[in-house]
Amino acid sequence: RYDQFFSNVCFYRNFSDPVGEVHLITYGAYMCGPDCSYNLTQYWNIVESSEISQPFELSLRRFGWSELGSPLTQPYYTADGYIEQYYDNVVLYAPQDDLSQVRFRPLSLWMGIPVEELVPINHHEQLVFYKVNDPLGHNVPLFFDHFIAEHGGRDLAGNPISETRQISDTLLRQCFETYCLLYD
């Protein structure tokens, strides 16, 4: 969300809010809490979050990325000539002269998530085949494919590095070069 702090009030707008919708942060509720004991930790987390610059926020809205979490670092210049910033779930970067060209660093690969062997196409009606090295690649469930298409496409996700795996009774995971998706 966007926050704008003033001396006595703070306004905010969620990325998902319609244009023109603005809310007022209730400082009293944050400071006092339900039992009227000071909740300073939460208050200072809110204040400190406003101090982080977010140069990629227009691009994030354009791609519909509200799931990235909060920025963890200030944006900074990298040795390869980009501006980069860490978020809870991705690392963003873009050329210094065109922040609209935001991309994701290959965080899954950087974290050492194993790259699985490529497989042949599975012609199941609920799968889409992402060709990586003709004729091999990885099979992607339609629900992951739709999410990727609605959030910047394969260009941002990178190639899949695994097949879909069942993590628990209800949780599925598939990793791509820049992020992993979970389905519950």
* Cα 39 from Cα 29, distance rounded (Å): 9
Whether the model clears a pTM of 0.85, i.e. scores above it, the answer is no
* Cα 78 from Cα 44, distance rounded (Å): 29
The predicted pLDDT at position 7 comes to: 60
CB 75 within 8 A of CB 83: yes
The model's confidence at residue 36, banded by pLDDT at 50, 70 and 90, is: very low
* Cα 6 from Cα 47, distance rounded (Å): 11
Q: H or E segment at 104? A: strand 103-104
Backbone angles phi, psi at 133, to 5 degrees: -140, 95
Lowest mean pLDDT among 26-30, 47-51, 83-87, 102-106: 26-30
* Cα 72 from Cα 89, distance rounded (Å): 10
For 6-22, what is each residue's pLDDT tens digit?
A: 666 667 788 888 877 88
Mean pLDDT value of segment 138-149? 96
Backbone angles phi, psi at 45, to 5 degrees: -60, -40
Who's near 137: CB < 8 A, 6+ residues apart?
118, 119, 121, 129, 130, 131, 159, 160
The predicted pLDDT at position 89 comes to: 82
For 103-113, what is each residue's pLDDT tens digit?
A: 999 989 988 89
The predicted pLDDT at position 6 comes to: 67
